[in-house]
């Protein structure tokens, strides 16, 4: 009797037929990596021997209790919808108690909200829970929380998970959860992803003590205020720390113990002061984004030790002084560097010519002067050189910089961003050309770029195809205005300017 049906990574399409219920001995069903675009038969619920159910596709329709009625042995459930809309809905009674007790639950881009699903509270053996982009607009229920003696005295009435002592992975991203930042006092917790919600309040002061094994912490795009707690410096296993787009203020803490930190993003907050000298210990950094804060001081000398750095964003701060010559030597692996909107002065060091892999360089809106080193023309491996500077809202969402290489850029030598500001209508992308650049070039870039984007629910009513174009002729300048949805809570206006030089 068939026990495993694994047809992943093919091109099957359509629905799951009713005949699936005849496979009474089936234990594992894996259909991901195909082109399924139909419904899921409720006869899946007849597979009483099933332990693993892995369904990824452009599913549509409604799932009810019948789809799970006999799945008493199910321990692994992955339901992911590959669609810009919530085409698949989970419709169960509020007091539904599933017949299973899952170890892993991963549900993405299907509608189970707006209320927090009560049935999740019955899953007491979970060690991985993902409810990502599932339309929840709710606080985490009080029944989900309990007092915790180690934090009760220092942070009264702050909730934390009650039942999930085994939980090591939690992802509630891209919903509308509100309330205070929750605590997860599990010694096993390694991943906490809460980005794109409406959590508020301060971060727990003793987060470093409560989550000693934390590897990945993402609280981006919430409404968190206060300071970054110094106890984060105790997280010796931490590799990814993403806190961008919040209301965090004051100075950065010390980082002596974070030798494994690879990704640090605190952009678009209200952090001020000078960078702590302890950042010299972050020698493993490959991505550093500090843009749009109120940081000050000369170009950070600790970066001399960050020889693996691929992305550097210091834009929109108050850094000043001369760019040091060692940048090109110590940071020769850089792919993207944005230093715009600071107070750097003097000339561009000749050592910038040592950047062998640089794809995006943004020095706009500083006090730089002097000549541009001619050797910059040799940065590209081809005869063409592309110096690119996207507005922060656009550059952080580019999924594949290589898409630029497929366009006939001619003699394009630089891209300069326009000022961008928040707007809830969409994005505007402005392209200016001189002698030779025509609208098809822009069309190819923009259509490819936005075709690969994935909208959030907040953008769905904006435009059905995510892309509308308007052209404006202004002498030798061509403006292409494009509206699109991005990963921010609300779409932003952003812009770039393309300049073609002879």
How far is Cα 433 from Cα 478, in angstroms, rounded to an integer? 6
CA angle, residues 4, 5, 9, in degrees to nearest 5: 130
How far is Cα 229 from Cα 45, in angstroms, rounded to an integer? 47
What residue ranges do the domains of the chain occupy?
A: 251-367, 412-500
Largest CA distance in the chain: 77
Q: In three state form, how does the secondary structure of 203-265 look?
A: CCCCHHHHCCCCCEEECCCCEEECCCCHHHHHCCCCCEEECCCCCCEECCCCCCCCCCCCEEE
CATH number of 251-367: 3.80.10.10
How far is Cα 52 from Cα 71, in angstroms, rounded to an integer? 10
Count of other CB atoms within 10 angstroms of residue 366? 18
Q: What is the pLDDT of residues 133-169, one digit of tens each?
A: 999 999 987 656 442 222 233 333 334 444 455 688 9
Q: What is the pLDDT of residues 237-267, one digit of tens each?
A: 999 999 999 999 999 999 889 999 999 999 9
Exposed, middle or buried: residue 296 (CB in 10 Å: 0-12, 13-18, 19+)? middle
State the pLDDT confidence band at 182, using cuts at 50, 70 and 90.
Answer: confident
Q: How far is CA 206 from CA 140, 210, 440, in A?
A: 21, 6, 55
Q: What is the pLDDT of residues 202-229, one digit of tens each?
A: 998 999 988 999 999 999 999 999 999 9
Q: Is 397 left (phi over 0), alpha (psi -120 to 50) or beta?
A: alpha
State the pLDDT confidence band at 377, using cuts at 50, 70 and 90.
Answer: low
pLDDT score at 142: 66
Q: How far is C-alpha 318 from the chain's CA centre?
A: 26
Q: What is the pLDDT of residues 423-442, one digit of tens each?
A: 323 333 333 333 233 333 33
Answer whether residue 362 shows pLDDT above 60.
yes
pLDDT score at 380: 52
Give yes or no for a contact between 385 and 376, defined as CB atoms under 8 angstroms apart: yes
Q: What is the pLDDT of residues 144-154, one digit of tens each?
A: 644 222 223 33
What residues form DSSP beta bridges with 254?
A: none
pTM score: 0.73
Greater pLDDT, 470 or 252: 252
pLDDT score at 188: 82
The DSSP bridge pattern shows strands 468-474 and 477-483 to be antiparallel
> For the residues 456-460, what does the mean pLDDT come to?
29
> For the residues 182-188, what does the mean pLDDT come to?
72
Count of other CB atoms within 10 angstroms of residue 18? 12
Mean pLDDT of the chain: 76
């Amino acid at each position: 009797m068939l026990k495993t049906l694994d047809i992943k990574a093919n091109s099957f399409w359509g629905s799951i037929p009713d005949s699936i219920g005849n496979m009474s001995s089936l234990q594992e069903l894996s259909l991901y990596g195909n082109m399924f675009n139909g419904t899921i038969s409720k006869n899946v619920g007849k597979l009483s021997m099933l332990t693993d159910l892995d369904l990824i596709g452009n599913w549509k329709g409604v799932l009810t209790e019948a789809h799970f009625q006999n799945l008493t042995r199910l321990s692994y459930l992955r339901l992911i919808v590959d669609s810009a809309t919530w085409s698949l809905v989970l419709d169960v009674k509020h007091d539904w108690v599933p017949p299973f007790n899952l170890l892993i639950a991963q549900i993405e881009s299907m509608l189970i909200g707006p209320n927090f699903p009560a049935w999740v509270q019955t899953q007491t053996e979970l060690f991985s829970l993902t409810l990502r982009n599932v339309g929840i607009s709710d606080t985490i229920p009080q029944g989900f929380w309990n007092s915790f003696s180690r934090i009760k005295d220092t942070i009264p009435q702050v909730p934390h998970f009650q039942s999930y002592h085994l939980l090591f992975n939690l992802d509630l991203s891209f919903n509308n959860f509100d309330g205070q930042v929750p605590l997860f006092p599990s010694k096993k917790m390694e991943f906490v992803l809460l980005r794109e919600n409406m959590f508020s309040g301060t971060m727990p002061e003793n987060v470093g003590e409560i989550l000693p094994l934390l590897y990945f912490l993402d609280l981006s795009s919430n409404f968190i205020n206060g300071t970054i707690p110094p106890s984060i410096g105790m997280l010796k296993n931490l590799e990814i720390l993403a806190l961008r787009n919040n209301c965090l203020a004051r100075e950065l803490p010390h980082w002596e113990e974070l030798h494994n930190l690879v990704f640090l993003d605190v952009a678009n907050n209200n952090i001020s002061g000078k960078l702590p000298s302890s950042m010299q210990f972050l020698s493993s950094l490959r991505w550093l984004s500090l843009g749009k804060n109120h940081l000050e001081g000369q170009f950070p000398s600790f970066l001399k030790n960050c020889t693996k750095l691929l992305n550097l964003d210091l834009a929109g701060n108050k850094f000043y002084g001369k760019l040091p010559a060692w940048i090109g030597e110590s940071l020769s692996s850089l792919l993207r560097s944005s230093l715009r909107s600071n107070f750097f002065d003097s000339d561009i060091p000749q050592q910038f010519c040592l950047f062998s892999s640089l794809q995006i360089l943004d020095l706009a809106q500083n006090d730089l002067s002097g000549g541009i080193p001619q050797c910059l023309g040799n940065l590209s491996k081809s005869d063409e050189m592309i110096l690119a500077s996207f507005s922060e809202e656009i550059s952080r969402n580019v999924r594949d910089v290589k898409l630029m290489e497929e366009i006939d850029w001619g003699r394009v030598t630089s891209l300069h961003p326009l000022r961008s500001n928040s707007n809830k209508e969409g994005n505007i992308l402005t392209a200016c050309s001189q002698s030779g650049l025509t609208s098809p070039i822009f069309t190819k870039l923009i259509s490819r770029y936005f075709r690969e984007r994935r909208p959030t629910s907040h953008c769905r009513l904006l435009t059905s195809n995510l892309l509308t174009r308007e052209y404006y002729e202004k002498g030798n300048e061509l403006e292409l205005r494009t509206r699109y949805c991005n990963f921010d809570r609300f779409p932003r206006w952003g812009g770039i300017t393309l300049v073609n030089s002879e």
